[in-house]
Every structure is written in C-alpha cells, then in structure tokens.
Amino acid sequence: MIRMALLILSLLILGCASRSELARNSLQVQPGMKADELSRVLGEPIIRQTQGNVEAWQYCVTDHSGFEANLHVLVWLRSGIVIGKRVQKKAKMGTCLTNLIYVRWEDAPQAPR
C-alpha cells in the first residue's frame, strides 16, 4: 500500500515538473531563433507540420494530477527561423497526442522585416 502511494506521488511530481519545465523553457523561445537553438531549448517536438517554407512544431506535456490538463506550446518557423509561438493550456480528457492544437496556417505570424 505504501509503495503504491509512493509510486503515485512520484508520478504526480514528475508530471508537474515536466509541465513547469516546458512552461519555463518556452519563455526562452523568441522570434529570430534558429531551429537548432529551438531544439536545444525545448528538445524535439511531438509533431512537426510543414506547409511550404513554414513549419509548426508542437510540444506538449499532460498533467496526470487528476485534472488532465495539457500544456501545449506551438512554435512557428519560417525557413528554419522562429517567427512566433503560442502557449495554451487545454483542460480536456486525454493525452497530448489525442488533443493536438489544430494548426491554422493562415494564423502563422509574419516574418519580421
């Protein structure tokens, strides 16, 4: 019984740490960063989508504390350079992979001139 409680507590702590780590690291993502810098800061995305020279990299961590909230970070790149990001918390049942952010390509930020 105690082992089960410790296991559950460990999983809760790890889930919270991962979510807060993604939130904290996403603050470092700024327009003008190169794709390799983005990978060093946030790691590999769970999914990459491409349309022409525009990419959408999605990162997500699921909170398993009972609320099943997903923290999503969507980073827009044009020609390998970050042009914007969106951070969103989605309180939906399921995991990150079942609740990805729908990419609307017309919402991609314009590259700085």
pLDDT of residue 23: 86
Residues 6+ apart with CB under 8 A from 56: 48, 49, 50, 74, 75, 76, 77, 103, 105, 108
Q: What is the pLDDT along the chain (113 residues), one digit of tens a residue?
A: 665 443 343 433 334 447 778 889 999 999 999 999 999 999 999 999 999 999 999 998 887 665 567 889 999 999 999 999 999 887 766 677 777 888 988 988 886 55
Helix (H, G, I), strand (E, B) or coil at 81: strand
**In whole angstroms, what is the distance from residue 24 CA to residue 84 CA?**
16
Task: For the beta carbon of residue 26, count every other beta carbon within 10 angstroms.
Answer: 19
pLDDT of residue 66: 55
Indicate the fold that domain 2-107 takes in CATH: Beta-lactamase Inhibitory Protein; Chain:B, domain 1 (3.30.1450)
Question: What is the domain partition of the chain in residue ranges?
Answer: 2-107
pLDDT of residue 58: 94
